[in-house]
Structure 1
Amino acid sequence: MSTLGIALIGAGKMGTDHARRIGRTVGGARVAAVADPDGDRAKEVTAGLDGASAHTDAAAAIAAPGVQAVLIASPGPAHEEAIGLALERGLPVLCEKPMTPDTAGALRVMEAEQRLGRRLVQVGFMRRYDAEYEELKGLLDAGGIGRPLFLHCRHRNAVSLPFFTSDSLINDSLVHEVDATRWLLGEEIAAVSVFSPPPTSAAPPELHDPRFVLMETSGGVLVDVEVFVNCGFGYEVRCEAVGESGSASIGEPRAMTVRRAGARSGAIPQDFTVRFADAYDRQLRRWVAAAARGGVAGPGAWDGYAAAAVCEAGIAAGRSGVRTPVELVERPALYR
């Protein structure tokens, strides 16, 4: 198999991490081009990559010699344009979440993909590749704890990113629980309610943090999520599934525990690149293998659209304080 040439769009933290992963962890691929509006940042990423070109424009990177697939790690508002450019060239895409910030953009992506008649867009919901999440999915699919009744989830960050707003808690954090819920249960989310306790003193003024989200699935399962992005102590993602005949939990600390001087302690990951490092590796390996065959093998444009629809309902619920139904278009045949 020849080495897959990838255009990397976005040279921030996530893009840089992907560049490192492609160069050192994932075989069968190389970064052929990097695009970022900050030209110096793009050059920094390509500095140690043989034959990789640096660009300030996504279109130039996607059209660069040797590019056979596109990995998008730019901010969400720029995703739709980059996906469109890749689809025009018939190139497989791995796009970090959110696929688009709204359902209107997601529908346009699906329309473009349907015109091609084949699936080329994969969305970076990496929890589907985490070993613990895969184990929980297998247990639920096998009926190991009976019919699911509840999912209890926690999503905590040590400190929020500078650009975070109250809407970002939904679009950039909760979106992972949205996709994980749909995938684990095999059901769409039908309604969202958002509750807001007094904000933590650690949050900036424009950020209402934490929030408690209640989602109802089409099959009646209740899913509650604590989203707390300024908890202060580390990065923590947990999920407990409760069924008719048992329960199962994932996300408990697996690091070494030290008992010393009358105390017990253990390390807590400080960000997602540590907690989900293996999941990102596995996701990228599987995408590279599929892209080398001209396709994708993972959550697609419909999943990106459904997540956007739930997040839109969540933002509306957070602003109004009212339970908000999720409205979805009929699922196109390409995504069935």
Structure 2
Amino acid sequence: MTQRADLRVAVIGSGRMGADHVRRIQQTIKGARVTAVVDVDAERAKRVAAPIDGCTVSTDPLAALAADDVDAVLIASPGPAHEATLLAALERDLPVLCEKPLTPDAASALRVLEAEQALGHRRIQVGFMRRYDAEYVRLKALLRTGQLGRPLMVHNRHRNVASPPFFTSAMLISDSVAHEVDATRWLLGHEITAVTVLRPAPSANAPDHLLDPQFVVLETDGGALSDVEIFVNCGFGYQVQAEVVCERGTARIGDGHALVTHMAARWGGTIAQDYTERFADAYDREVQAWVDATRRGEVTGPGTWDGYAAAAVCEAGVRALEEGGRVTVELVDKPALYR
């Protein structure tokens, strides 16, 4: 790719995440600018694009990808729409940052994986932003030193104030636990081989149709276990916490004690209310890293294999939720492109 002063980015999807990325690229990220905003809701896309001089608006992702002023694509549309856009971007050899999920299921993710292999080089980064969170980065670095010995278990907690009205019981796994799936794989350097989902009595705060909370157990090919408490209607805040238990010690992140106040016979702090607050810095670092790597002609972050593996694990997790018992994860052999 010809080096330019700014990477010209088409943002596909202008909902909450897409709009936040448009703002981020325009106001925070260096070396990039938004030249197109695409959404099936044309009026929403117009509102998001309005402050940006020269930014085009479209309801057709393929038309945006074919435009002369688009060098790269950021996909923030709903998961079921990802495959078509990803395949079109690969046909045009365009770099992509795709919000998770890569696609909603393993079969469609595998089709994207095969298309990228046919291209012969990596073009896709998947938006697992926890890999860019300062606490997760420190935890990964500590584990890499070996000071704590071999990791044996990972305990994860993932809590949301309230779930969106469209959320289903399966989405607790496919849309939420997907992050812990990738974090477990990344922190431990293991693939996940089996999933079990346990269901306590649903919270009275959960909608009637929703099995919330859930307790997910992930087994890995390195002999470690990772459990996830997913509770999307906890009511009090947004919390993401992880503790790795190793042979010679433990390490924990996510306690949120950066600021503790003491006043009027009380002590305490605040709890983030959503993911855009808790992981704001991680999103900034993620997009900046993608822009920098793209301008160098590289892909350095979590890629298509990671998106495929997460999709396969989540698919097994949904089966475990719906059918009960332990469900094994089936993965194809890892291609040389991703080793």
The alignment's TM-score, normalised by the length of structure 1, stands at 0.98
Specify the code of the residue in structure 1 equivalent to 2:161. A
- 1:166 corresponds, among 165, 169, 176, to 169
Q: What is the CA–CA distance in structure 2 between the aligned matches of 1:64 and 1:9, rounded to whole Å?
A: 13
Q: What is the CA–CA distance in structure 2 between the aligned matches of 1:24 and 1:187, rounded to whole Å?
A: 37
Q: What is the CA–CA distance in structure 2 between the aligned matches of 1:233 and 1:327, rounded to whole Å?
A: 37
Determine whether 1:330 maps to 2:333: yes
- 1:192 corresponds, among 192, 195, 200, to 195
1:247 maps to which residue?
250
2:112 maps to which residue?
109
Alpha-carbon deviation of 1:255? Answer: 4.3
Percent identity of equivalent pairs: 62
Determine whether 1:205 maps to 2:225: no
Q: What is the CA–CA distance in structure 2 between the aligned matches of 1:6 and 1:232, rounded to whole Å?
A: 37
Specify the code of the residue in structure 1 equivalent to 2:62. A
Q: What is the CA–CA distance in structure 1 between the aligned matches of 2:258 and 2:274, rounded to whole Å?
A: 15
Determine whether 1:52 maps to 2:62: no
Q: What is the CA–CA distance in structure 1 between the aligned matches of 2:143 and 2:65, rounded to whole Å?
A: 40
Specify the code of the residue in structure 1 equivalent to 2:243. E
Alpha-carbon deviation of 1:261? Answer: 3.0
Determine whether 1:221 maps to 2:198: no
Alpha-carbon deviation of 1:266? Answer: 1.5
2:170 counterpart SS class: helix
1:219 counterpart SS class: coil
Specify the code of the residue in structure 2 equivalent to 1:271. D
Larger mean Cα displacement after TM superposition, 70-79 or 55-64: 55-64
Determine whether 1:278 maps to 2:281: yes
1:166 counterpart SS class: coil
1:15 maps to which residue?
18
Q: What is the CA–CA distance in structure 1 between the aligned matches of 2:47 and 2:209, rounded to whole Å?
A: 33
Q: What is the CA–CA distance in structure 1 between the aligned matches of 2:138 and 2:258, rounded to whole Å?
A: 19
1:307 counterpart SS class: helix
Larger mean Cα displacement after TM superposition, 197-206 or 118-127: 197-206
1:31 maps to which residue?
34
- 2:130 corresponds, among 124, 127, 130, to 127
Q: What is the CA–CA distance in structure 2 between the aligned matches of 1:296 and 1:2, rounded to whole Å?
A: 19
Specify the code of the residue in structure 1 equivalent to 2:16. K
Alignment of 1:69-84 (within 5 A): 69-84=72-87
- 1:152 corresponds, among 134, 155, 164, to 155
Q: What is the CA–CA distance in structure 2 between the aligned matches of 1:154 and 1:236, rounded to whole Å?
A: 7
Determine whether 1:321 maps to 2:327: no
- 1:136 corresponds, among 136, 139, 142, to 139
Do the aligned partners of 1:91 and 1:294 also contact (CA within 8 Å) in 2? no
Specify the code of the residue in structure 1 equivalent to 2:19. T
C-alpha distance after superposition, 1:51-77 (max 9, x if no partner): 110111111221223100000000000
Q: What is the CA–CA distance in structure 1 between the aligned matches of 2:273 and 2:65, rounded to whole Å?
A: 33
C-alpha distance after superposition, 1:149-199 (max 9, x if no partner): 110000000011121101100010000000000000000001110000011
Larger mean Cα displacement after TM superposition, 53-62 or 10-19: 53-62
2:182 maps to which residue?
179
Do the aligned partners of 1:238 and 1:250 also contact (CA within 8 Å) in 2? yes
Q: What is the CA–CA distance in structure 1 between the aligned matches of 2:93 and 2:302, rounded to whole Å?
A: 18
Q: What is the CA–CA distance in structure 1 between the aligned matches of 2:187 and 2:244, rounded to whole Å?
A: 10
2:298 counterpart SS class: coil
1:296 maps to which residue?
299
Do the aligned partners of 1:255 and 1:267 also contact (CA within 8 Å) in 2? no
Q: What is the CA–CA distance in structure 2 between the aligned matches of 1:254 and 1:85, rounded to whole Å?
A: 44
2:8 maps to which residue?
5
Alpha-carbon deviation of 1:320? Answer: 1.5
Q: What is the CA–CA distance in structure 1 between the aligned matches of 2:306 and 2:25, rounded to whole Å?
A: 25
Q: What is the CA–CA distance in structure 2 between the aligned matches of 1:241 and 1:270, rounded to whole Å?
A: 25
Do the aligned partners of 1:241 and 1:247 also contact (CA within 8 Å) in 2? yes
C-alpha distance after superposition, 1:280-310 (max 9, x if no partner): 0111011001112333211110000000010
Do the aligned partners of 1:76 and 1:97 also contact (CA within 8 Å) in 2? yes
Point out 4+ residue stretches in structure 1 off by more than 2 angstroms. 254-265
Q: What is the CA–CA distance in structure 2 between the aligned matches of 1:75 and 1:210, rounded to whole Å?
A: 24
